[in-house]
Structure 1
């Protein structure tokens, strides 16, 4: 049996589905030259780096394969050439710092594991008989258990977990093979030399041929988050005070109609999603700040790994030795706290206790809040620009005094008690108080952020 979709016009006599489709076409035409261009550029840059990394790994594998392919080299290393290939496969990472970290960890783990394993094997062979197997079992247990325990120590796990794992592997292989092999030292030496060859090839290609620095990625991603939160604040500004007002009765009726349409047509499903955002299509496409805030919230794991890799990297560009990468973690945490506050403002605006735009409780705070949010967005851009150009932002002279002024402006905004309670519902006053508290909390977190940026400039040697 066929189904019929009934178009229900809105209050202005326009069918929602057709209105939405018409605006989307216009938005696509308007946004294509700018939005899509920058998205394409960003995507192409990341894709180019992926291609470069893939080519570099392929070249490294070709070089280590020559140990097998060329007879003179094969006579020197023999079957141990397989260890060089394995080293390239497991050590070569996307970022230069990650490659250096894994390579050094693998080298330290191999040298320690191989050295101690050779000593244990030689001692076991000297004992001989049944005691040889007993000594091998005891040493494997002691060193394996001790190394595994150290892997659970936070400071060791963060930087040397891979090295501890390689130590366990190498030590166990050398000791156990020493039971059957007579030339333990020669085998360990050959394997160590081939591992060193593989690591040298990885290091040369990773650091000298189109290097991809984890420090640059961390620096750029942190700067981008300042801009994302600034855009989020501006989006919040438009959504807060320029949204279309709806009476509660009208909202309930339209909600009922939209739920009916959800069960009838997928077109109505898209329209429902647009409606409940409480902004028109143009505003939503320009200021989709929720996704930007959520991307900032999910950046902690990425920051920690990039800081770890960046701390291994050599001096390059403006990033010298002992650069204060730990402050980047503090800045990332501050930005995540700020993103949480911005999202809480969005939840506050959607709360049933929040007064509508037509309410007399909301109108007096409109212009002051617009100015305050604009000032906060400017502050975020200034701080981000300071980190991007590695120049002192002068937070003590400009940023912090401006935030102090913003705090004073917030204190002067009339609260529910000063607006009068005759024409206000109790829930409206509660909603406004929650909103103002979130604004004050945002200013406090911005001050903390400015102090950490100033600290980064001092310890990082910003000009």
Structure 2
């Protein structure tokens, strides 16, 4: 680097710095670039760590909410490990030939979360594979005996015809609901066997080995799914129905409490029990889950209280009745959160009657939920329904008399201020009417499923207890004489104490 001083026009000298070529970037600048690069790298690592930590927390929450999901993952791993032995062990591999990989593929595509889903896919895959293989072998025999010139046309024509018919059948509602997966496997299997038969010799032997390996995969799936912590679709549907009734009951109470609570008319904040008031959304959003579980439950064998022909379709009717009620609860919730509210002194005129009806509606739904959950029938549901209807009649009487009272005691304009109150009360009465439909659907389910009577069980237990008291059974190994267990309550000395 050189420094020189020159004078310009006799003035003061100018200082110039001559920088060598290629040294335009100083050492300090290089250090700054390196520092920025390290800072960027550290920030990327920190951001990646935060994302991984958040993802781990979400995974943990999913597993903690329902540990059966983690168990399902272990079950799939167990089934794959067991069926892989047919590929790793030479004696088993020689028994099934080179098609052992089909057993592993079958486990991957067949294993489902519920027993019903596993049985559904296993049956569809087995039936589709056998039927498609049989038809393909028949077409193969016809094509071989038709000659070399016609063989490609027969194979291609059969694939076109059967694939078109099978695909069209998937639009049939019954086929779509129960055999959609089987139709897909039928098309795939037939196409593979029919096309490969043109080049592959010993097609029958290949088809037999493939059917055997698929059967092994299906058997392994069913064994692990049923024997290791089974999850039954019928029980899931049963619990979902009872749980939705409880949530709907809580929503009815919360919406009425929210409407008649003392709060500013322009308060846009959610109330503390807004989550409970939105319980009706679970009912409205559960249709797809109910339909899927009901269809899968039909494939399950008898287990526990769920017999061979358990009326799973009736659960969909119960769910439909609950959704019919939930629509009114949704409208009721909209009125409760509306910015335009009736005056507080007008609300208080029907607050007691509406709260009484809401409490009794919730009681009816909870009694119906208990009936479904315990698979019993009880007179408590009939009593609760009678109390609800009586409360509704009282509320209707108060509603009819309210306009004249407002006009007499306040002013005719007060009747207009109470329009929203009339709407809320009418919706609540409609909710009670639709709850009657829910109870009817539950009664039909109890009749079809053969729910036992809880009242009879209580009477039987009481009579059995009374019999044991009158005729106690003594311990044969005890030397103590028999005594009446109720005699202590008849002793005068204990009564005096």
Common fold, TM-score beyond 0.5? yes
The aligned residue for residue 268 of structure 2 is: 276
The yes-or-no answer on 1:458 pairing with 2:447 is: yes
Task: Give the TM-score taking structure 2 as reference length.
Answer: 0.75
1:353 Cα offset (Å): 5.2
Among 167, 171, 174, the alignment partner of 2:190 is: 171
1:413 Cα offset (Å): 1.8
CA, structure 1 residues 350+46, in 2 after alignment: closer, same or farther (shift >3 Å)?
closer
Among 303, 323, 336, the alignment partner of 1:336 is: 323
The aligned residue for residue 484 of structure 2 is: none
Deviation digits for residues 352-393 of structure 1 (CA, Å, limit 9, x no counterpart): 5541323xx322101111111111111111000000110014
**In structure 2, what is the Cα distance between the partners aligned to 1:384 and 1:372?**
18
The yes-or-no answer on 1:199 pairing with 2:218 is: yes
**In structure 2, what is the Cα distance between the partners aligned to 1:192 and 1:78?**
12
Deviation digits for residues 148-173 of structure 1 (CA, Å, limit 9, x no counterpart): 11111011100100001111111111
- Do 1:234 and 1:374's aligned partners in 2 also have CA atoms closer than 8 Å? yes
CA, structure 1 residues 395+452, in 2 after alignment: closer, same or farther (shift >3 Å)?
farther
Instruction: Extract structure 1 runs of 4+ deviating beyond 3 A.
Output: 41-47, 350-354, 393-397, 423-427
The aligned residue for residue 283 of structure 2 is: 296
Secondary structure of residue in 2 paired with 1:198: helix
The aligned residue for residue 302 of structure 2 is: 315
The aligned residue for residue 138 of structure 1 is: 157
Secondary structure of residue in 1 paired with 2:451: coil
The yes-or-no answer on 1:429 pairing with 2:418 is: yes
1:290 Cα offset (Å): 4.0
Secondary structure of residue in 1 paired with 2:399: coil
Deviation digits for residues 322-347 of structure 1 (CA, Å, limit 9, x no counterpart): 11111111111122222221121121
Secondary structure of residue in 1 paired with 2:262: coil
The yes-or-no answer on 1:405 pairing with 2:397 is: no
1:46 Cα offset (Å): 4.4
* Consecutive unaligned residues in structure 1, runs of 5 or more: 1-40, 252-274
Q: Which moved more, 1:382-391 or 1:419-428?
A: 419-428
Secondary structure of residue in 2 paired with 1:244: coil
The aligned residue for residue 72 of structure 1 is: 91
**In structure 1, what is the Cα distance between the partners aligned to 2:171 and 2:380?**
41
1:236 Cα offset (Å): 1.9
Among 374, 377, 382, the alignment partner of 2:367 is: 382
Among 106, 122, 129, the alignment partner of 1:103 is: 122
- Do 2:322 and 2:438's aligned partners in 1 also have CA atoms closer than 8 Å? yes
Aligned residue pairs: how many?
Answer: 389
**In structure 2, what is the Cα distance between the partners aligned to 1:457 and 1:192?**
43
Instruction: Give matches, 1:10-409, under 5 Å.
Output: 46-246=65-265, 251=266, 275-277=267-269, 279=271, 284=272, 286-351=273-338, 354-358=341-345, 361-394=346-379, 397-409=382-394
CA, structure 1 residues 227+438, in 2 after alignment: closer, same or farther (shift >3 Å)?
same
- Structure number with larger C-alpha Rg: 2
Q: Which moved more, 1:439-448 or 1:411-420?
A: 411-420
Deviation digits for residues 178-234 of structure 1 (CA, Å, limit 9, x no counterpart): 111121111111100000000001111111111111111111121111111122122
Deviation digits for residues 67-115 of structure 1 (CA, Å, limit 9, x no counterpart): 1100111112222001100000000001111001000000010011110
Q: Which has the higher contact order (CA 8 A, sep 6+)?
A: 1
Secondary structure of residue in 2 paired with 1:288: helix
- Do 1:392 and 1:457's aligned partners in 2 also have CA atoms closer than 8 Å? yes
* Consecutive unaligned residues in structure 2, runs of 5 or more: 1-59, 453-497
**In structure 2, what is the Cα distance between the partners aligned to 1:414 and 1:320?**
48
- Do 1:229 and 1:380's aligned partners in 2 also have CA atoms closer than 8 Å? yes
Secondary structure of residue in 2 paired with 1:130: coil
